[in-house]
């Protein structure tokens, strides 16, 4: 099931983030925690936190009927800090 969820995030939800200039990549599911790497506009956006967590959980719950804790790792380029 973890592989299906990661595939859904990376192949369905990720393009939605890319359309807005950002990028979200699920790299791991550890116990009940999704590890999401945020890049581009997603990494620097003020909504990258609770809003993104809410959106991801809403989409995942509607498809898989499962709720996760989400850890977002913001990969901000050194020149943007």
What count of Cα atoms within 13 Å lies in the side-chain half-sphere of residue 52? 30
CA gyration radius, the chain:
12
How many whole angstroms separate alpha carbon 40 and alpha carbon 75? 8
User: What separation in angstroms does the CA of 48 have from each of 3, 40, 64, 75?
Assistant: 24, 11, 23, 11
pLDDT at 44: 86
Mean pLDDT over residues 50-66, rounded?
92
Residue 80 pLDDT > 80: no
Q: Confidence class of residue 1 from pLDDT cuts 50, 70 and 90?
A: confident
């Amino acid at each position: 099931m973890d592989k299906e969820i990661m595939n859904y995030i990376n192949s369905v939800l990720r393009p939605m983030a890319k359309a807005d200039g950002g990028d979200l990549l699920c790299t791991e599911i550890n116990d009940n925690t999704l590890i999401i790497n945020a890049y581009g506009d997603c990494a620097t956006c003020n909504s990258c936190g609770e809003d993104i967590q809410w959106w991801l959980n809403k989409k995942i719950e509607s498809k898989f009927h499962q709720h996760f804790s989400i850890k977002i790792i913001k990969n901000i380029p050194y020149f943007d800090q």
